[in-house]
């Protein structure tokens, strides 16, 4: 899982990097040649000095020698559809050793490309390095994000497309939604996103008009926030301030996040929170503006 409570899979980078991030679908990152020694006047020096680490999470199917390999690039529509995949390492073999990040060895996000059907699940790892999980799929083009840290390597988020045949009706996307209703809960988002600047986002959870003050820990936190950028679905996973049991973090109604996004544009936010033994997801759409 990408770094603790602040910024997850995004890094504010160079303009050239952001142009690359507009590529949609399965992209294999180019090898970046180092700048020539003592060539201090080359206009390409800054771009050459950048690495794959500057690319927002989930854009690449391969990065730093690791590749997300789906067993099949297509799956039928339906509930509890089995999905299997491997992560291959720099040696070309399936990775079998992972560090536990936020209580799991790998976090898988599935979402249709119109930003519906969001699922945050945790596959099972077989001894040969094959991951397997069942997800709910509707017709359309889906994006799968594998968020993990192979033992001895940096944390990565890789993304791959999954085609689901059938009659596809894209959802209408609103420009901005700051209140979400889910299973009788109302979640309100307060705070603004600004490109390249730290932002404080507060998400307040209510149930039947009353503040929820007994949120339950989920993966070691009172909430998990995923952001996906419109267009390329660049991925950011953020964890909230504090931790359950630290003596100062309250279990609701507010869950506070600090994060930064790399560009202006529209971001779709998904908050996972747990209450009364059930994990629910509240969905928002927020515009990111240029910093003041």
Whether residue 152 sits in one domain with residue 264? no
Stretch among 52-66, 233-247, 249-263 having the lowest mean pLDDT: 52-66
Judged against a pLDDT cut of 70, whether residue 279 lies above it is answered with yes
- For the chain, the residue count is 292
The enclosing domain of 271 has a CATH number of: 2.60.40.10
Q: Please compute Rg for the chain using Cα positions.
A: 19
Residue 7 DSSP symbol: -
pLDDT value of position 22: 38
169, part of any domain: no
Residue 74: is its pLDDT beyond 60? yes
Q: CA dist 198 to 32, 58, 237, 255, 288, Å?
A: 29, 21, 15, 16, 12
Q: Same domain, yes or no, for 153 and 186?
A: no
Does one domain contain both 183 and 160?
A: no
| Confidence category of residue 262, pLDDT binned at 50, 70, 90 | confident
Among residues 259, 222, 219, 220, which one has the least CA distance to residue 237?
A: 259
Please give the share of the chain, as a percent, with pLDDT higher than 90: 73
pLDDT, one tens digit per residue, over 7-31 is: 344 333 333 333 333 333 333 333 3
Residues 52 and 87 in one domain: yes
- Choose the final residue of a domain: 106, 136, 164: 164
| Domain end (from 131, 164, 197) | 164
Same domain, 42 and 136: yes
Reported as a pLDDT band with limits 50, 70 and 90, residue 226 is very high
225 and 283 fall within a common domain = yes
Considering the domain architecture, whether residues 29 and 126 belong to the same structural domain is answered as: yes
Q: Which residues span the domain enclosing 201?
A: 179-289
Q: How far apart are CA 236 and CA 227, in angstroms?
A: 5
Specify whether 74 is located in the same domain as 211: no
pLDDT value at residue 291: 82
Q: Answer whether residue 155 is part of any domain.
A: yes
Tally of domains in the chain: 2
Q: Give the Cβ contact number of residue 41 at 10 Å.
A: 6
Q: Identify which has the larger pLDDT, 14 or 123.
A: 123
Residue that wins the pLDDT comparison between 40 and 89: 89
Rounded to an integer, the average pLDDT of 99-117 is: 96
Looking at the fold, whether 90 and 202 belong to one and the same domain comes out as no
Assign residue 122 the CATH number of its domain.
2.60.40.1930
Q: Hey, how many other C-beta atoms are within 10 angstroms of the C-beta on 204?
A: 17
What per-residue confidence (pLDDT) applies to 172?
Answer: 85
Q: Give residues with Cβ within 8 angstroms of 116, minimum separation 6.
A: 138, 171
Q: Is residue 24 part of a domain?
A: yes
Is residue 246 included in any domain, yes or no?
yes
Does the global pTM surpass 0.75? yes
């Amino acid at each position: 899982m990408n770094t603790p409570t602040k910024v997850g899979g995004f890094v504010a980078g160079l303009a050239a990097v952001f142009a690359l991030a507009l590529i949609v679908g399965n992209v294999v990152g180019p090898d970046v040649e180092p700048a020539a020694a003592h060539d201090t006047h080359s206009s390409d020096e800054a771009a050459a000095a950048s690495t794959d680490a500057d690319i927002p999470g989930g854009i690449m199917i391969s990065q730093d020698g690791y590749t997300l390999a789906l067993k099949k690039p297509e799956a039928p529509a339906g509930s509890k559809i089995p999905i299997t995949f491997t992560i291959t390492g720099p040696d070309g073999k399936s990775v079998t050793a992972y560090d536990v990040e936020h209580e799991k060895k790998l976090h898988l996000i599935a979402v249709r490309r119109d930003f519906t059907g969001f699922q945050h699940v945790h596959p099972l790892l077989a001894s040969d390095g094959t991951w397997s999980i069942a997800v709910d799929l509707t017709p359309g083009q889906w994006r799968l994000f594998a968020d993990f840290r192979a033992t001895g390597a940096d944390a990565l988020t890789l993304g791959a497309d999954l085609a689901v045949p059938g009659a596809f009706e894209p959802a209408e996307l609103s420009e901005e939604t700051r209140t979400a209703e889910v299973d009788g809960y109302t979640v309100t988002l307060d705070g603004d996103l600004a490109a390249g600047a730290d932002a404080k986002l507060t998400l307040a959870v209510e149930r039947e008009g009353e503040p929820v003050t007994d949120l339950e820990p989920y993966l070691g936190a009172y909430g998990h926030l995923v952001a996906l950028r419109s267009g390329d679905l660049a991925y950011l996973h953020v964890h909230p301030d504090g931790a359950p049991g630290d003596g100062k973090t309250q279990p609701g109604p507010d869950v506070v996040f600090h994060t930064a996004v790399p560009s202006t544009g529209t971001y779709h936010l998904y908050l996972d929170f747990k209450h009364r033994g059930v994990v629910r997801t509240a969905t928002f759409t927020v515009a990111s503006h240029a910093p003041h």
